[in-house]
A = this chain, B = another copy of it.
Amino acid sequence: MPLSLAVLVSGGGSNLQSLIDRIEQGVLDAEIKLVVSNKPEAYGLVRASEHGIPTRVVAHADHPSREAFDTEVLRAIEAHQAEAVILAGFMRILTPGFVQSFPRRLLNIHPALLPSFPGAHGQRDAADYGVRISGCTVHFVDEIMDHGPVIIQAAVPAEPGEGGDALAARILRLEHRIFPQAVQWLAEGRLGMEDRHVRLAPAKRPLADLSGLGPCLVNPPLEQGF
Binding site for B on A (CB under 8 A): 113-117, 129-133, 135, 137, 149-158, 160-161, 194-199, 215-217, 219-221
Contact = CB atoms under 8 A, between A and B. Distances in A.
Contacts of A133: 113, 135, 153-155, 217, 219
Contacts of A113: 113, 116, 131, 133, 155
A44 to B, nearest CB: 27
A177 to B, nearest CB: 14
A83 to B, nearest CB: 24
A63 B114 CA distance: 40
Given A113-B116, A129-B115, A135-B133, A219 B149 contact: no
Given A155-B217, A157-B220, A215-B221, 12 more contacts: A113-B155, A115-B116, A130-B149, A130-B195, A130-B197, A132-B137, A132-B153, A132-B220, A156-B217, A160-B194, A161-B194, A215-B219
A153 B116 CA distance: 14
Contacts of A152: 132
19 contacts: A113-B113, A113-B116, A113-B131, A115-B129, A129-B150, A130-B149, A130-B197, A132-B152, A132-B153, A132-B219, A132-B220, A135-B155, A155-B155, A155-B217, A160-B194, A160-B198, A161-B194, A215-B217, A215-B219
